[in-house]
Every structure is written in C-alpha cells, then in structure tokens.
Amino acid sequence: MELKIIQGDITQLELDAIVNAANPSILGGAGVDGAIHKVAGPELINYCKEIRNRHLPKGVPTGGVIITPGFNLPSKYIIHAVGPVFKRDLNPAILLRSAYINSLNLAEKRDVKTIAFPAISTGIYGYPKDLAAKEVKSVMNSYKFNNIEEVTLCYFSAEDTNIAKKIFFKKV
C-alpha cells in the first residue's frame, strides 16, 4: 500500500472512495462534512435520509461507518465515518481508531483500490491534531491491506498537513 499525505480539497479527488468526517446524523454539517454534502448534491442528503429512515433511526454510532454513492463527486463512493468528540466520549483513541479501521474494512469489502481520509475529529470535535495523527499512523502501520493500493491523507490546512508529515515521516 502506498501512503500519500497532501494538502487539498478532498471533494476534488478522483478516487474510488473518500471518507467523510460525518456526524452521527449523516445528514450534513460543518467542515469536511458540509463540503462533501454541498459538492455531492441533493441526492446525497436524500440517500442519507433514506438510510436513516430504513436502517439507522438513531444515526451512526461513534466509530461506525456507512457507505453511499459519490453522486456529483469525482469519487465513486463516500464512506461516512463518525469520529469521537474528544472531551465528551470515553476512550476517544479507541473510537478514532475504529472510525479509520471500519472505513478501511468497508472499503476492502467494496474492492476499493484508492481511498482518501480527512483529519477525522480534529475540527469542531476537538481531537488534538498531533494525537489524532499518531492514531492514524498506528492504524496505517498495523492494518492488513488487501485490495487497497493507495491511501491518501488529505488535509485542508497547511498546519494539519505539516503535523501529519512530521508524525508519519519523523526520523527515530
């Protein structure tokens, strides 16, 4: 598996799947979630409402994931991953790892070859960026990749990108 760390707009990446830092409602929100819903178009919100009505009336649990088509995005799929609220949820590191691992597991089941992740939970959910990057590195180093050939960590800000590069590529 090839790992890339880039600064950019995840909604513009043409990959098999992108991951959305979703809230439990999966009905859109702020940050990455809002941007993905805006670019994907109204079909996404309608699809998510149908999922909620039929299968998840209480929403997606923290650490959980669902998959939808990409609709107007250049990516085929959107994997909606619910990360922890750092100062509210018990065991936020375990929940953050679960969001990444469950996203990768679902991608593997859909024969996804290329996938991009944003910095899950580091925005309004308050997860410290350096701690989050360390958890992501741990997941990427220990995960048993099968179908996935390329993982892109796509950060919107230079600060997030630099933190991730420092964590992933520091010399020991």
Q: Give yes or no for a contact between 33 and 39, defined as CB atoms under 8 angstroms apart.
A: no
Consecutive H or E run containing 7: strand 2-7
Q: Residue 111 catalytic?
A: no
Rg (CA), the chain: 15
From 33, 111, 130, 160, the catalytic residue: 33
Is the CB of residue 112 less than 8 Å from the CB of residue 75? no
d(C-alpha 124, C-alpha 56), whole Å:
23
| Residues labelled catalytic | 33
